Structures are given as C-alpha cells and as structure tokens.
Amino acid sequence: MSLDLNIKTAVPQQFNNSASIAQLPSKELIRRGNIRMEKCELKEAGQFFEMALEQAKSVRDLRGISDSIAQLLRYSSEIGNEPAVQKWVNELEIFLAQTPEANTPAGHSPNIWYCRGIVAFRGAQYKKAQVLFHRFWRELEIEENLLSTKESSTIPSDAFKEIMRSKAQALLALSLVAIAHGKPKRAEYFAEVILKYAEVERPRGILTSTYLMLVRLAERVSDTARAKIWLQKAFTESVSEHNWHHYLYVLYGFARVSRIEQDFVQARFYLDLLDKAVIQDEFKNLKAEISEERVKLNLNRVDLEIDLNRSTIRTREGEINLRRQHLLIEILHQIALAHENKEDVDNRQGLSKQEIIEKVWKEKYNPEAHDGKLYYNINRVRKLLEPDQKKPTYLLNWRQGYRLAPELKVRVIQGEK
C-alpha cells in the first residue's frame, strides 16, 4: 500500500460551485475546518480538512499534507469514527515512511504528534500519549529556535504566536495525562503556566480548555465551589469566542458538578439540554459521555430531598419553597425519619395519625379535635408535592396514618452544612 501524492480527494458536493474555496491554501482550509468544529458543524469541518489534504497534495506541500492528515485523524477521533481513525493513522505512517524529507522537523507539521497523542489518550493509552505530547513539545521548541535565528523581517508576524499557542496546547494535553496518572499537582502547575500566558495573550480556544481541565481537578476533591468558578470562566470564554463546541462541554461540566452537589434536578436539566443539542451522529463521543453521566446520576439520585436549613423540598419535578409553611415541612420531616429508619425497602414504615400529632403538634392525640386538622394539612402537602393528587406517588395512605412510597430515595439536610 502506498500514498499517492497526486490522488485527488473528492471536493465535497456543497462546495462544487465554489472553486475559489477549493483553491485556498491548505492552511486556510484547515483554519476554516477548525472554525466549523467550533460551531458544531462537524460534518462540514471534515469536508474542509479533506479539501485541505487535496490542495496540499496538488502542490506537494509536505507540511500541509501531514497537517491535513493529522487534522483528519483528530477529527475522526473526535466524532468516534474508529475505522477512519485507523485509516488516517495508516496513511500518516505511509507518508512518513515513503517521503524521506518528511521525516525532518521542517518536512512535516508538529501537529501530527499532538493529534496522534489525542487518539492514544482517548484510547486510555496514557503512557503512549505522554510520549507523543512530549514529541510535539520538542518539535515546537525546534521550530521556535529556528525562527529565533532568522532575521525578524523574514518571520511572519503570527509565526511566534502560533508556536506559543501550540506549546500551551501541549502543556494542556500533558496536564490531562497527569490527571490520568493521578498527579494533580503536576496538572495544576502546568495550568498555572498556561494561564500566565493565555490570560494575557488570549489565544483562541486555550482558556476554555484550561478552565475545563481545572474543573476536573476541583471535582476530584469535591470542591464544587471552586469548580463552579472555573465553569463560569469557561462559560464566559466559550460564549465570547462563539465556540459552541466548548460550550457543550461547559454544560456537561455543570451537569457533573450539580450531581456532585446532589442537585439532581439541575443535573438532569443540563443533560436534557445537551441531549437536544447533540442530535447529529458526529457527536458520538459526547453522547457516550452524557449516557455515562446519566448512569451516575441515577445511581446517586434522590427522589425527595427535605432541606431543613433552607426550608425547601426538592422532588423529581423541581424545588418547592416552604419558608412560610414550617408545619408542612415538619410533617414531611417526621414521616421521612420513619422512612429512613428502615433499610429494607419492603419494610419501610410510616407514622400513624397519633404519632404525627404527637411529633409535629406536640399534643396528645384526640381524633375529634385533630383528624380534620391533619387531613387538611396532608392535602396541603400533597397539593405541593404530587404531580397528580388523585394518584399520589410520594405521600401515601398507610394503615392508620401516612408514609412515603417505599421505593423513594430520601435525603434530609439538617444542621450545619
């Protein structure tokens, strides 16, 4: 099998009437492909990368060829197309093997090592990814040193900026490897280095990615307050850049942090938003992550949360404020305590009318004096709690009293948080 540099890659149909686009340099076509990625136009992004490869082959631009293949490799990994990933890995290897001049730093794009590292990282081959990311860094340093020896008048104005952005990209990738290896301190150090540069120069895409990595570090120690600070920064940056691909991962971060905080209604809200946004087949990887997060959410979910600190109730349907209705929240609290005292779902108990009156009203039970009062307040609770009062799913009748549905997962928040 050989790589024919003269083979024509078919121009995407939607660009057939735009010859001027097809004649753009491969570097510009790659730039436009990356913009399509940011806008979540993933299919169109792949088409631009293919056009870039065709254009680079037509003029035998070795760096352009290697960069285009690398971008197609990264793109295929991003959309979860494993056959295409293997195809571009093979083509890249053939290109390097059959083109001797391509094996010099000047003969290929350093991005080939970064994109191969991304593929290895996604495949949980962390040691291999680390080696590839280090190779990426070394080749960037070679390029930087070569530029430094040239006269400033011969250096394109954006050349150093591009290298610095790529070096930040390399450090960010190495940070992810460090987290995977259980070395958060190293990841934090890399993040500090990146932010000192990126928060001043503001290279496109770097800040959001760094903030999202810092969110992961905060999640590891359940520091949700810190995680939300980084998420807010990532949100602001992704919106200011109109980078909707990053914005989806910001929403995903908010869903994870909400789950850790046991705000399950909010976590589901973010996941539902994501489901509506990632309907394209190309979002295969993100869809899989969303599905995994839903599994975690279901394992950690609470059907009924009674927050005595805030006088609120949170159900599967939403949050209810009971700050002016202390009697109602105390009724639920006392019934929930009986529910929690039995680990065996089938034997979970409730409270009799007498027990409710004695625990909530602190009075000796008198049916004639108390039943009407109790029925009235139970109905008030159900009106707030139940989606359908005629078919209650939370607060059920039980023997001579009431109980919570046995299968409910209940959490009571009380005292210092």
State pTM to two decimals.
Answer: 0.74
Classify residue 416 by its DSSP letter.
-
Burial pattern 324-345, b for ≥16 Cβ within 10 A else e, equals ebeebbbbbbbbbebbeeeeee
Classify residue 16 by its DSSP letter.
T
CA distances from 83 to 45, 87, 90, 112 (A): 18, 6, 11, 18
CA distance linking residue 163 with residue 307, whole number of Å? 52
Tell me the average pLDDT across 258-281. Answer: 90
Specify the CATH number of the domain 304-413.
1.10.10.10
Site of tokens 């949170």: 314
- Angle CA(225)–CA(228)–CA(233) in degrees, nearest 5? 135
Q: In terms of Cα–Cα distance, which of 102, 80, 105 is closest to 91?
A: 102
CA distance linking residue 287 with residue 79, whole number of Å? 10
Tell me the average pLDDT across 298-323. Answer: 86
Whether 308 has a pLDDT exceeding 50, the answer reads yes
Question: Domain extents for the chain?
Answer: 204-301, 304-413
Whether 231 has a pLDDT exceeding 90, the answer reads yes
Integer-rounded Cα radius of gyration of the chain: 29
Question: Burial level of 413, CB count in 10 A (0-12/13-18/19+)?
Answer: middle
End-to-end CA distance of the chain: 65
Give pLDDT, residue 107.
78
Q: Is the dihedral of CA 4, 6, 7, 12 positive or negative?
A: positive
Question: Burial level of 386, CB count in 10 A (0-12/13-18/19+)?
Answer: middle
More confident call, 188 vs 400: 188
Q: Which helix H or strand E contains 115, and what residues bound it? A: helix 111-122
Q: What is the average pLDDT score of the chain?
A: 89
Contacts of residue 342, defined as CB under 8 A and 6 or more positions apart, other chains included, come to 348, 349
Q: Where are the beta strands (DSSP E) in 175-322?
A: 304-307, 312-315, 319-321
CA distance linking residue 382 with residue 205, whole number of Å? 49
Q: Return contacts of 126-135, CB within 8 angstroms, 24+ apart.
A: 126/177, 126/180, 126/181, 129/173, 129/177, 130/174, 130/177, 133/170, 133/173, 133/174, 133/177, 134/174
Give pLDDT, residue 417.
45
Whether 15 has a pLDDT exceeding 80, the answer reads no
Whether 3 has a pLDDT exceeding 80, the answer reads no
Percent of the chain with pLDDT over 90: 69
144 touches 163 (CB < 8 A): yes
Q: Which helix H or strand E contains 241, and what residues bound it? A: none
Site of tokens 């093979």: 90
Question: pLDDT tens, 50-107?
Answer: 999 999 999 999 999 999 999 999 999 999 999 999 999 999 999 888 887 777 777 7
Classify residue 352 by its DSSP letter.
E
